[in-house]
Chain A
């Protein structure tokens, strides 16, 4: 078949094809090498983590039957056939769920307030002192890198069992995470209003209030709402270490094999989280929409 594309003479084509093949070969070797490294790392970590596919294959039936059992009552009936029996503890669970939400709310609010105060000290463009800025940054890093549950475990020792330990853990973590995000928001503002206000001779806090704050508020609120979503999830498991909320009953049900209780509590948590996610994302979209409008 005659091709409409002119074919290069063999003398020119030969070296071109050879160099193309060489280039492809180098890339092939490169990907092969990377893949081999990943595979070796996978084998090593599987050995270290005692991964055993035969064990998984032998027990996978228990995984599926676990979910089967989750949705059956003690009498053997499916859970939704007898709602009253499934949610026999609804009064207690609702109270604990309310406590979980309050923990998330108070933790987010106090953490955000602290982060708000720290952000202006930690932002490179407006911070009053360089060493103070570095100290605040490190402090925020420490607060957010240590896992939340570790704080909760420590606070349970100090404050005793109960929601107060959980809330304080949420406060610390939220302060660390939001402190960083807020500081980044402040670093991205337009400096002209700040310069304008400080040119009038205003002291630092007035400059921040009228120069910087109006530009940052909607982002602050948006990040805080996002953090609230995360904190609701985190508060729900805080009870695993005795730090209050519905997690206490959840882990007890899992440990004692009260299967229908496990599914009842899990469904409650999932529905609550879904509702809160929808609400906060609606508010966030409205806020960000406001900002983008000229």
Chain B
């Protein structure tokens, strides 16, 4: 017998305590099987999607060319720079209007879906399911639907963001309301106040900071979404971006992307400060 690993004889221990090793071996066998399965599916998927074609290599070479052509970022001329800036402002406007409208409309829905406010299980169930469905449909699909309704332009974008966000806000608000301490509400009800007053003075002060910070957070992420809905004709910078990509004005592409990044970073910064002021560092980390 050869002693291994600093004098510990593993084989001897294994023969002495087989039952402890059996559990370890079983666990290891299961892990190996899972990983093998995952890798097999991965390789099958890569083959199926064309990862092992020559196309990947030639495309990679072309991608490097494209990245080279994108540098340095350059709008071309002042007229383009002005157009892009206006479109970017429009993008931020779409995000702001859509988020705020959704927040206002989602408050009653959040109340309907919250367990401690709505006692009817049926109403709660229906409002939750419809919120789930709204949320699962992608924003681009909503944009396409609203383009059918109000025509091409930023208004369709506002409505698309609004519809998609009502789903998310309704869910988040109802969770915030359910997490609220119910003692203030009981206290106000015990004075003989109407339920509406209890919601206003008992519930609202508690959930408002949470809700406001979530709305701010969504404003950030909606600015990102608003940059792409232009691709389907719903206003904002996305239209110019998609067009610049299709016409291979690659320096303009990188210029627009840079503008978007700077704007998103600025909004991130401002809304991060506001959220911090609203609910403090700990809450900002959670929300």
User: CB-CB < 8 A to B119: which residues of A?
Assistant: none
Does A1 reach chain B (CB closer than 8 Å)?
Answer: no
A186 part of interface (Cβ distance < 8 Å): no
Contact of B138 among A106, A154, A236 (CB under 8 A): A236
CA distance A163 to B48 in the complex (A): 10
Chain A: CB-nearest residue to B60: A158
- B248 CB–A CB distance under 8 Å: yes
**Partner among A38, A48, A273 whose Cβ is within 8 Å of the Cβ of B89:** A48
Q: Is the CB of A163 within 8 A of B49?
A: yes
- By a CB distance below 8 angstroms, the chain B residues around A16 are none
The CA of A237 and the CA of B100, in the complex, are separated in Å by 26
* A266 with B257, Cβ < 8 A, contacts A45-B94, A49-B154 known: no
- Is the pair B231, A55 in contact by a Cβ cutoff of 8 Å? no
Smallest CB gap from B154: residue in A: A49
- With CB as the reference atom, state the residue of chain B lying closest to A47: B93
- In the A-B complex, the 10 residue pairs with the smallest Cβ-Cβ separation, listed nearest first, are A45-B93, A159-B59, A48-B93, A158-B63, A49-B154, A102-B45, A106-B45, A45-B96, A49-B93, A158-B62
Decide: B245 and A157 in contact? CB cutoff 8 A. yes
Set of chain B residues within 8 Å of A241, measured between Cβ atoms:
231, 242
Assess the A102–B49 pair: CB atoms within 8 A.
yes
Report the bound CA distance from A25 to B164 in whole Å.
Answer: 38
| CB nearest to A105 among chain B residues | B45
Cβ of A244 within 8 Å of any chain B Cβ, yes or no, is yes
Q: Does B56 contact A159, Cβ atoms closer than 8 Å? A: yes
Which residues between 106 and 161 of chain A lie within 8 Å of chain B, taking CB atoms? Answer: 106, 109-110, 142, 145-147, 149-150, 153-155, 157-160
Contact A55 B150, CB 8 Å, known A109-B42, A150-B257: yes
Q: Cα distance A276–B186 when bound, in Å?
A: 40
- Partner of B227 from the list A41, A147, A162, A269 (CB cut-off 8 Å) is A147
Assess whether A145 is in contact with B261, with CB atoms less than 8 Å apart. yes
Q: Mark B54-81, 1 if CB is under 8 A from A, else 0.
A: 0110011011001000000000000000
Partner of B248, one of A62, A157, A269: A157
- Kindly report which residue of chain B lies nearest to residue A106, judged by CB atoms: B45
Contact A105 B155 (CB under 8 A): no
B207 located at the interface, meaning its Cβ lies under 8 Å from any Cβ of chain A in the complex = no
User: Known: A48-B154, A155-B63, A270-B137. Is A105-B227 also a contact (CB below 8 A)?
Assistant: no
Encoded as 1 (CB less than 8 Å from any B CB) or 0, chain A from 85 to 115 comes to: 0000000000000010011011001100000
Whether A50 pairs with B154 at a CB distance below 8 angstroms is yes
Q: When the two chains form their complex, are residues B137 and A240 in contact, meaning their CB atoms are under 8 A apart?
A: no
Tell whether A51 pairs with B59 under 8 Å between CB atoms, given A45-B94, A63-B149, A105-B45. Answer: no
Give Cα distance in the complex from A50 to B90, angstroms. 9
Contact assessment for A55 and B50 in the assembled complex, using a CB-CB cutoff below 8 Å: no
Is B46 interfacial (CB-CB < 8 Å)? yes
In the complex the two chains form, is B136's CB within 8 Å of A150's CB?
no
A254 touches B141 (CB 8 A): yes
Please give the number of chain A residues whose Cβ is less than 8 angstroms from any Cβ of chain B in the complex.
58
Give the interface size class of chain B.
35 or more
B211 in the interface, Cβ–Cβ < 8 Å?
A: no
Give the docked Cα–Cα distance between A55 and B264 (Å): 30
Q: A274 near B: Cβ within 8 Å?
A: yes
Q: Is the CB of A147 within 8 A of B149?
A: no
* Complex contact A99–B49 (CB within 8 A): yes
How near does chain A come to B53, taking the closest CB pair, in angstroms?
Answer: 8
- Chain A's closest residue to B66 (CB) is A158
A63-B145, A164-B51, A164-B56 known; A55+B155 contact, CB < 8 A? yes
Q: Do A41 and B50 touch (CB < 8 A)?
A: no
A211-227: CB near B (< 8 Å → 1, else 0) gives 00000000000000000
B167 within 8 A of A: no
A270-B149 Cα distance, complex, nearest whole Å? 23
Q: Is the CB of B245 within 8 A of A146?
A: no
A157 CA / B61 CA spacing, docked (Å): 12
In the complex, whether A194 has a CB less than 8 A from a CB of chain B is no
Chain B residue contacts of A59, Cβ below 8 A:
149-150
Q: List, in ascending order, chain A residues with CB within 8 A of B42's CB.
A: 105-106, 109-110
Are A49 and B56 in contact (CB-based, < 8 A)? Answer: no
Instruction: Determine how close the nearest CB of chain A comes to the CB of B12; give it in whole angstroms.
Output: 24
Is A38 a contact of B245 with CB atoms below 8 Å? no
Can you identify 26 A-B contacts, CB atoms within 8 angstroms?
A45-B93, A46-B97, A47-B93, A48-B154, A49-B94, A49-B157, A51-B155, A52-B155, A60-B149, A63-B146, A66-B149, A99-B48, A102-B49, A103-B45, A105-B42, A105-B45, A106-B42, A145-B261, A147-B228, A154-B66, A155-B63, A157-B245, A159-B62, A162-B50, A163-B49, A255-B144
Which A residues lie within 8 Å of B46 (CB)?
A: 106
Q: Which residues of B contact A163 (CB under 8 A)?
A: 49-50
Measured in the bound complex, the distance between the Cα atoms of B245 and A42 in whole Å is 32
- Interface residue? B148 (CB, 8 A): yes
Q: Judging by beta carbons under 8 Å apart, are B97 and A51 in contact?
A: yes
Complex Cα spacing A269 to B137, Å: 9
Among B174-198, those with CB < 8 Å from A are: none
B38 within 8 A of A: yes
- Among residues of B, the one whose C-beta sits closest to the C-beta of A142 is B261
- Interchain CB contact under 8 A, B45 and A146: no
Of chain A, the residue at the smallest CB distance from B241 is A150
How far apart are the CA atoms of A42 and B219 in the complex, in Å?
13
